[in-house]
Chains A and B, each alone.
Chain A
Amino acid sequence: MVPPRPALSFDHLGIVLAVLIGVALFAAPFATYRATRIASGEARLLIEALPVAMASALVLVALGLAAGAVLVRDPLGRLGSAVIGLAVLLPSLGLSAGFLTPADNSFARVSPSAGFWLLSLSFSLLAVDALARMRLGPFGRLVALAVGVSALALLLFSGIWDDLSIIKEYRTRADSFWREARQHLMLAVGSMALACLIGVPLGIASHRLRTLRTAVLQGLGIVQTIPSIALFGLLIAPLGALAASVPLAAALGIRGIGAAPAFIALLLYALLPIVANTIAGLNQVPAVVADAARGMGMSPWQRLVQVELPLALPVILAGIRIVLVQNLGLATVAALIGGGGFGTFVFQGIGQTAIDLVLLGAIPTVVLSFVASIILDALVDFSKGALA
């Protein structure tokens, strides 16, 4: 067992974070200034990026938190200091953008730089570590997520970040942003839903028939190893041929290039986790329970719906979690074949070497996957709790 700690000791993780904070404050640029959106950036240290009083206040707060990370061991105290750190750091990025942009200059762009990223990384690590040590239940995790998302929404809607380059990129294409967002969700969530409709019955059938199980799992396993862009490419040819020869398919919007091959590819990737987890979930239903249900005179259909599927639900949900997170990420690649989604901005940005445009596509994708994984993890825990 772990020996009792001496009263005063240094937290090893805290020491690492304190070093990171020190580097971020004094040795790394806080923000990058560009004369135009694609000009090369000029680094601005923290002391140049904010009015002197605010810069010193930020330094003092960050140093205080670095000391706290080393000395305070209570998870609640650590979480509190991480929250204070982020609450000071995130708005000051917006203030810095306003400070660095010359008045009446609509071409200049300010984006966060290494120092800002390191500071937010250190504070987030502190928060994640504190939350991990608190071992929150599913409800607590959802509350923490809701608080985080509301804080982010508040920052975005308050207008404090309006001078940041990424928000300016958003402003100029707000319409297409929401259109691509809908397309991204349609691809990721739609293919997941269809994969559930196909995968769960297929999983049930494969659980009953050994020969079907081997064939299905091996076939889907091979699909899983094919890289996304290759599978998208491979689907272009048959769908293009289908559209050319069957007018109805073309009328339905099925084309070689576009959303159709992306949707089908995502569906194919999604099937393996759902089928495999349905089989695994049904396999772990205790034999005595199935026997008891039979003894009570339940029909096979009643046994499946009232006993086996509810018991397999947590494992099936875990499969759905894998699929949703995977789909939200893979849907980004759909833009390469004209399928739309947030990848549109990523690839446009790469093409124009406009980094903030890349981030405009990448950050929402990461946030969506992150939120989806926390919500579905909580659902898995809830469904386990309901069984207990």
Chain B
Amino acid sequence: MRPSSLVRLSALLLLVIFVTMPEAFAFLFEPLITPGAPAIYNQGSLFALTMQHLRTVCLATLASTLLAVALGIFVTRPSGAEFLPLSRSLVNIGQTFPPIAVLAIAVPLVGFGEKPTFVALFLYGLLPIFENTLTGLTQVPPTALEAARGMGMNAWQRLVQVELPLALPMILAGIRLSVIISLGTATIGSTVAAKGLGEVIIAGLQSNNIAFVLQGGLVVALLAVLVHDGLGLLERIAARKLGRSLDETP
């Protein structure tokens, strides 16, 4: 086993053990707290909060992936070409919006709780995926498209069998970026009463309990690093598959 995968595996193991039985680690946090204060987050189960956090992020990313890829395909077709310059500028402008501002603006529209967080994650997650879908689809070599046309493929076949597979690594990179941003933004979502790991950090900040802040922060950070790493692995597999299938075609 390579050292990098060993590190990966032990980080995952540490995360799982920590969220399922945090009491076992109480001795690590005791030096940080004022006597009498709880050393381990006691207002809910870390495991349940982690799952809720992941669920919100997954659902929002799924929704933004579907819409962003569909939009990216649309504006790169001849019928959607009139929207291309505008959508490029919109992506650039949209990314200057801080995620917290998107979250804050969503509250008056849909109220407190999970909904504004979902809306903010969904909207903000669109941008990197859409941008990368555009880049991926516009970078498909014209010769590959010519060849596909020459083989008698229609527009749909060219899209599904040539363009999308070639753009896949790029699209996956966009999804990874979007997931990482969402993991962080979902944490801030707890300020508008969404269930998630931000609750732990905010409870710590409110009761001046550094142990809580540290626990919440560590779990989110570990989660983000692991997800980033795992999705990166997926991208490399996709890119490698692409390389092989290209080699195999004469």
| Residue A373 lies at the interface, judged by CB distance under 8 Å to chain B | yes
Nearest-neighbour CB distance to chain B for A87, whole angstroms, equals 21
Residues of B within 8 A of A361 (CB): 104
| Residue A370 lies at the interface, judged by CB distance under 8 Å to chain B | yes
Nearest-neighbour CB distance to chain B for A200, whole angstroms, equals 24
Nearest-neighbour CB distance to chain A for B207, whole angstroms, equals 12
Q: State whether B95 touches A233 (Cβ < 8 A).
A: no
Instruction: Name B121-171 residues within 8 Å CB distance of A.
Output: none
Residues of B within 8 A of A257 (CB): 205
Chain B residue at smallest Cβ distance from A345: B104
Q: State whether A373 touches B92 (Cβ < 8 A).
A: yes
Instruction: Name A237-272 residues within 8 Å CB distance of B.
Output: 237, 240, 256-257
Given A228-B184, A230-B184, A332-B98, are A132 and B88 neighbors across the interface (CB < 8 Å)? yes
Annotate B88-122 by CB proximity to A: 1 below 8 A, 0 otherwise.
11101101111111001101100010000000000
The CA of A359 and the CA of B101, in the complex, are separated in Å by: 8
Which residue in A12, A349, A359 is a CB contact (below 8 Å) of B83? A12
Residues of B within 8 A of A90 (CB): none
Instruction: Name A117-138 residues within 8 Å CB distance of B.
Output: 125, 128-129, 131-133
Q: Interface of chain B, helix or strand or loop or mixed?
A: helix
Q: State whether B187 touches A359 (Cβ < 8 A).
A: no
Nearest-neighbour CB distance to chain A for B131, whole angstroms, equals 14
Q: State whether A234 touches B107 (Cβ < 8 A).
A: no
| Residue A65 lies at the interface, judged by CB distance under 8 Å to chain B | no
Chain B residue at smallest Cβ distance from A327: B98
Residues of B within 8 A of A167 (CB): none
Nearest-neighbour CB distance to chain A for B195, whole angstroms, equals 15
Q: State whether B89 touches A346 (Cβ < 8 A).
A: no
Given A237-B214, A358-B104, are A129 and B221 neighbors across the interface (CB < 8 Å)? no
Q: State whether B90 touches A350 (Cβ < 8 A).
A: no
Q: State whether A240 touches B98 (Cβ < 8 A).
A: no
| Residue B21 lies at the interface, judged by CB distance under 8 Å to chain A | no
Question: Which of B42-50, B196-204, B236-244 sits within the interface?
Answer: B196-204
The CA of A355 and the CA of B83, in the complex, are separated in Å by: 33
Instruction: Name A303-355 residues within 8 Å CB distance of B.
Output: 325, 328-330, 332-333, 336-337, 343, 346-347, 349-350, 353, 355
Given A229-B184, A240-B210, A256-B210, are A362 and B86 neighbors across the interface (CB < 8 Å)? no
Q: State whether B98 touches A330 (Cβ < 8 A).
A: yes
| Residue B69 lies at the interface, judged by CB distance under 8 Å to chain A | no
Q: Interface of chain A, helix or strand or loop or mixed?
A: helix
| Residue A152 lies at the interface, judged by CB distance under 8 Å to chain B | no
The CA of A363 and the CA of B43, in the complex, are separated in Å by: 34
Q: How extensive is the interface on chain B, given as a class?
A: 35 or more
Q: How extensive is the interface on chain A, given as a class?
A: 35 or more
Nearest-neighbour CB distance to chain A for B204, whole angstroms, equals 7
The CA of A332 and the CA of B32, in the complex, are separated in Å by: 27
Which residue in B99, B107, B112, B216 is a CB contact (below 8 Å) of A230? B216
Nearest-neighbour CB distance to chain B for A14, whole angstroms, equals 9
Residues of A within 8 A of B54 (CB): none
Q: State whether A225 touches B225 (Cβ < 8 A).
A: yes
| Residue B172 lies at the interface, judged by CB distance under 8 Å to chain A | no
Which residue in A328, A329, A349 is a CB contact (below 8 Å) of B99? A329
Given A226-B224, A227-B184, are A128 and B90 neighbors across the interface (CB < 8 Å)? yes
Nearest-neighbour CB distance to chain B for A152, whole angstroms, equals 16
Q: State whether A337 touches B224 (Cβ < 8 A).
A: no
| Residue A103 lies at the interface, judged by CB distance under 8 Å to chain B | no
| Residue B39 lies at the interface, judged by CB distance under 8 Å to chain A | no
Which residue in B32, B89, B105, B216 is a CB contact (below 8 Å) of A358? B105
Q: State whether B210 touches A226 (Cβ < 8 A).
A: no
| Residue A366 lies at the interface, judged by CB distance under 8 Å to chain B | yes
The CA of A232 and the CA of B216, in the complex, are separated in Å by: 11
Chain A residue at smallest Cβ distance from B227: A225
Nearest-neighbour CB distance to chain A for B85, whole angstroms, equals 4
* Among B90, B100, B101, B220: residue with most chain A CB under 10 A: B100
Residues of A within 8 A of B218 (CB): 230, 234
Residues of B within 8 A of A337 (CB): 205
* Among B93, B214, B217: residue with most chain A CB under 10 A: B217
For the complex with contacts A226-B221, A358-B105, 15 further pairs of A-B residues with Cβ separation under 8 Å are A12-B83, A128-B93, A129-B86, A226-B225, A227-B184, A229-B188, A229-B198, A233-B213, A332-B101, A359-B104, A361-B104, A362-B104, A365-B98, A369-B96, A373-B92
- Interface residues in chain B, defined as those with a beta carbon under 8 Å from any beta carbon in chain A: 32, 79-83, 85-86, 88-90, 92-93, 95-101, 104-105, 107-108, 112, 180, 183-185, 187-188, 191-192, 198, 201-202, 204-205, 210, 213-214, 216-218, 220-221, 224-225, 228
Sampled A-B contacts (13; CB under 8 Å)? A132-B88, A226-B221, A229-B184, A230-B184, A230-B224, A325-B96, A330-B98, A336-B202, A355-B108, A359-B105, A362-B100, A369-B97, A370-B93
User: Sorted from nearest, which 9 A-B pairs have the closest CB atoms?
Assistant: A329-B98, A227-B184, A233-B217, A230-B217, A132-B85, A233-B213, A369-B96, A355-B108, A362-B101
